[in-house]
Chains A and B, each alone.
Chain A
């Protein structure tokens, strides 16, 4: 399952566009940087890791199988 570290997310949306199951979205809440960061919709993740490789940030996303 995908785990999001919201404080490291810059909200670019690459993972949202890439997710084959469309289970990520840009949230409404702001993180400490003032960015609307990505969040997991809560269901649908197949732990493929595609979001991790599309994300430009090293520690914003992590996927546990």
Chain B
């Protein structure tokens, strides 16, 4: 005896503090039918333990109460963005974004479209009922020409609000999607086609084939102001005229290669070899030091801070590097904060540095008053010192820019500053680590790394300083 009953859903739905076993959907809602088909496909394919549903904002919001699998609730319109993260973080998972036409077609269109264009490995199930359901039946991008909604009481006027947005047709212009189709749940034949299409979306994700979009036309009896039967008929007789059913793309043949999942880059990949990166160690005897490096963009301020942070990391200290700069790539004010500690660090921001390194006058005048008592300010000799540092703060005037020019490498002024930090032992880190970090910062240009190490040593010995 085979029984036809619901699979893949929780038995009770603990909504609003009550355990019930009916959904929150209005009588005759297309969401209910679609929710059932999705849960059934997920369960019948044995994918519940592998599936991450990304739930929308809109009437579909409560699906996490219904489908027995993992869920992420996305902000309005962001289900495709959240699904991008989910499918990249868990490439073995079956990731399914569930979105409505207000959610995907309006506020979330760009991130759905871009995810499709990138061919992210998730399936997007897009429920189109031609209006905003949850908020009271306002016009959506998919509202039909002439359709009455609460915000188009005389019918949608294309002269005023344009024509309906055809999401499948637009997405079908993209290269990456492997499957794009539009189905409906208006009658039995259409529901059975939708069941097959939903199953296909799951199978494509199970097999890692790539991005799939399935649009489902759904009746909204409440906001159509119709009974369930007339609302379903409206889907067939009116919506399908504007949104014809069909398969717009189906490249998911057996021969299709599984799309490789983009490899996630770790911070370690950005700096040094992966296997040379042990975790930081906690050492309460190491006094925390806070640094501020400031100047204008292009002086190598940010990379100088990064080099100090990297030296700290080589010594297995806890460290954070935090840049701050304007919209300009070169020429604007730039500064960065570095914290080096024997303990895990709470905040990367530095309000009162122990060490301040300044490459220009505005930077010096902005930050010199913040330096802690007992701290050090290293300032380039080109900076006119019109403001004295606070009492108890040591001032070092250092010819970084001049030395770099004399060595014939004007861009190495930041390396000259590193020489000062090393010479006056400002960092609490060994000279060897600072040199290693400096060389590592030129990982892509090894010859420059050695050259800078040489310049660092020359500058530290003061040989060029006339």
Interface residues of A (CB under 8 A from B): 5, 7-8, 10-14, 17-18, 35, 47, 49-50, 52-60, 62-65
> How many angstroms between the C-alpha atoms of A11 and B3 in the bound complex?
22
Instruction: Among A10, A12, A63, find the residue whose CB has the most chain B CB atoms closer than 10 A.
Output: A12
Q: Are A62 and B23 in contact (CB under 8 A)?
A: no
Q: Is B161 an interface residue (CB 8 A)?
A: no
Contacts of A52 in B (CB 8 A): 4-5
Partner of B6, one of A17, A18, A50, A59: A59
Contacts of A56 in B (CB 8 A): 23, 25, 27-33, 35-36
Q: Are A10 and B188 in contact (CB under 8 A)?
A: no
Q: Is B151 an interface residue (CB 8 A)?
A: no
Q: Are B4 and A13 in contact (CB under 8 A)?
A: no
Q: Are A64 and B3 in contact (CB under 8 A)?
A: yes
Q: Is B1 an interface residue (CB 8 A)?
A: yes
Contacts of B6 in A (CB 8 A): 58-59, 62
> How many angstroms between the C-alpha atoms of A64 and B1 in the bound complex?
7
Which residues of B from 1 to 31 have beta carbons under 8 Å from A? Answer: 1-6, 9, 11, 21-23, 25-31
Contacts of A12 in B (CB 8 A): 27-28, 221, 227-228
Chain A contact residues: over half helix, strand or loop, or mixed? loop
Contacts of B229 in A (CB 8 A): 13-14, 17
Q: Are A62 and B227 in contact (CB under 8 A)?
A: no
Q: Which 8 residue pairs are nearest across A and B when measured between Cβ atoms?
A: A56-B32, A12-B28, A12-B27, A10-B27, A12-B228, A49-B4, A63-B4, A58-B6
Contact with A along B72-100 (1 / 0, CB 8 A): 00000000000000000000000000000
Contacts of A60 in B (CB 8 A): 22
> How many angstroms between the C-alpha atoms of A63 and B229 in the bound complex?
22
Q: How many A-B residue pairs have C-beta atoms within 8 angstroms? Tell me.
A: 88
B228, chain A: closest CB distance, angstroms: 4
Contacts of A58 in B (CB 8 A): 6, 9, 21, 23, 32, 35-36, 39, 66
Partner of B3, one of A8, A10, A62: A62
Q: Are A63 and B5 in contact (CB under 8 A)?
A: yes
B16, chain A: closest CB distance, angstroms: 14
Q: Are A65 and B28 in contact (CB under 8 A)?
A: no
> How many angstroms between the C-alpha atoms of A62 and B22 in the bound complex?
14
> How many angstroms between the C-alpha atoms of A62 and B6 in the bound complex?
8
Which residues of B from 213 to 251 have beta carbons under 8 Å from A? Answer: 221, 227-229, 232
Given contacts A11-B27, A17-B232, A65-B1, 11 further A-B contacts (CB under 8 A): A7-B22, A10-B27, A47-B4, A54-B187, A55-B33, A55-B36, A56-B32, A56-B35, A58-B6, A58-B21, A62-B5
Q: Are B33 and A18 in contact (CB under 8 A)?
A: no
Q: Is B422 an interface residue (CB 8 A)?
A: no
> How many angstroms between the C-alpha atoms of A60 and B192 in the bound complex?
19
> How many angstroms between the C-alpha atoms of A8 and B195 in the bound complex?
23
Q: Are A54 and B188 in contact (CB under 8 A)?
A: yes
With A12-B228, A13-B228, A18-B188 as known contacts, state yes or no: A57 contacts B23, CB within 8 Å.
Answer: yes
B415, chain A: closest CB distance, angstroms: 67
Q: Are A18 and B187 in contact (CB under 8 A)?
A: yes
Considering the complex, give the chain A residue whose CB is closest to the CB of B9: A58
> How many angstroms between the C-alpha atoms of A58 and B43 in the bound complex?
14
> How many angstroms between the C-alpha atoms of A10 and B32 in the bound complex?
11
Q: Is B191 an interface residue (CB 8 A)?
A: yes
Q: Are B192 and A53 in contact (CB under 8 A)?
A: yes
> How many angstroms between the C-alpha atoms of A52 and B227 in the bound complex?
19
Contacts of A47 in B (CB 8 A): 4
> How many angstroms between the C-alpha atoms of A13 and B26 in the bound complex?
12
> How many angstroms between the C-alpha atoms of A65 and B5 in the bound complex?
11
